[in-house]
């Protein structure tokens, strides 16, 4: 299965998502988007495939979101994409692309929605939260 994860290793949610994908026996193509940011066209395409507004994939916490005035609802998607292009940290993470779709995987177990038919086995997040129980059932 061809999977791409736009990953930030400094983010616990992103680390948990990557670990969960690997735990299920899949080695994704990992793009550390802070080192290799996706193009604005790719971001726009992924957001379109998600079926959400661009604002839904912007990260506010720990970013220049407020300083750049990105809370201004009159800003266009082109203006928001300009900001993300200049400051990749504004792109929330992790974004996962699979044949089943594209999704911002927050919380990390949201990635399971993109992996239909993959057999589940017990998984616990870094913080000890059980995501898949001993019987292979999704807990959340």
Residues with catalytic function: 11
The residue whose two tokens read 């993109």 is 114
Cβ-based neighbours of 54, under 8 Å, separated by 6 or more: 43, 44, 47, 77, 80, 81
Distance CA 126, CA 124 (A): 7
Q: Are strands 95-98 and 101-104 parallel, antiparallel or unpaired?
A: antiparallel
Contact 5, 28 (CB under 8 A): yes
């Amino acid at each position: 299965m061809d999977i791409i994860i736009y990953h930030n290793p400094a983010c616990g949610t992103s680390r948990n998502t990557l670990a969960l994908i690997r735990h299920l026996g899949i080695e994704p193509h990992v793009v550390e988007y802070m080192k290799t940011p996706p193009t604005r066209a790719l971001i726009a395409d992924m957001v379109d495939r998600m079926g959400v507004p661009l604002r839904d994939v912007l990260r506010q916490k720990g970013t220049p979101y407020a300083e750049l005035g990105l809370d201004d609802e009159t800003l266009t998607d082109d203006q928001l994409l300009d900001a993300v292009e200049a400051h990749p940290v504004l792109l929330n993470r992790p974004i996962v692309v699979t044949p089943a779709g594209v999704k911002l995987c927050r919380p990390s177990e949201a990635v399971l929605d993109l992996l239909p038919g993959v057999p589940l086995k017990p998984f616990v997040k870094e913080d000890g939260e059980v995501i898949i129980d001993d019987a292979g059932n999704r807990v959340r």
